[in-house]
Amino acid sequence: MQRKIRTVLKDKGHNVYSISPIDTVFKAIDLMAEKGIGSLVVLEDGKIVGLITERNYTREVILKGRSSVRTFVKDIMDAPVVCASPDHRLNECMALMMEKGVKHLPIVEDNRLVGLVSIGDLVRAVVKDQEFVISQLEHYIHG
């Protein structure tokens, strides 16, 4: 039986960085660089209204010759946002992310943001699960 996202968040942590839709893209990129992350959840009045990623910055600011200090997060963020719950299984989230073409997935429980997972987080969790199964099989085979 495959693990649920809840266990991935337990290992990874529930820390999520966010920004307002009326903040500048420069502020968003600065925060991502400071925290060493690739995305921010965009919150307005405590509700998820978007997601901004380094990819948004590259495609919507750099490639279009816009200014990051004069462009607002709301102008380049992805919306609406694809979300999952802590009770979704790893494979369900990976399938959802592939289907929707997203690399970051906010996790929501009782209408409250409780975490964020990346495709990398999910791949690491799947590999960890497979290593455990292999180890158990080797132990069984060799007694």
What is the model's pTM?
0.86
- Which among 84, 76, 85 is positioned nearest to 19, based on CA atoms? 76
How many structural domains does the chain have? 1
Q: Is it the case that residue 130 has pLDDT exceeding 90?
A: no
Cβ(54)–Cβ(32) under 8 Å? yes
Range of the domain at 110: 5-142
Q: For the domain that residue 25 is a member of, what is the CATH number?
A: 3.10.580.10
Mean pLDDT of 15-37: 97
The pLDDT score that the predictor gives to residue 131 is 65
Confidence of residue 133 (pLDDT cuts 50, 70, 90): low
- Write the pLDDT tens digit of every residue in 77-107: 999 999 999 999 999 999 999 999 999 999 9
Cβ-based neighbours of 118, under 8 Å, separated by 6 or more: 38, 39, 103, 104, 105
- Write the pLDDT tens digit of every residue in 34-57: 999 999 999 999 999 999 999 999
Q: Is it the case that residue 24 has pLDDT exceeding 70?
A: yes
Cα–Cα distance between 98 and 62 in angstroms, integer?
A: 25
Q: Work out the angle at residue 11's Cα, subtended by the Cα atoms of residues 140 and 50, and round it to the nearest 5 degrees.
A: 135
Question: Which residue is it, tokens 């649920």?
Answer: 4
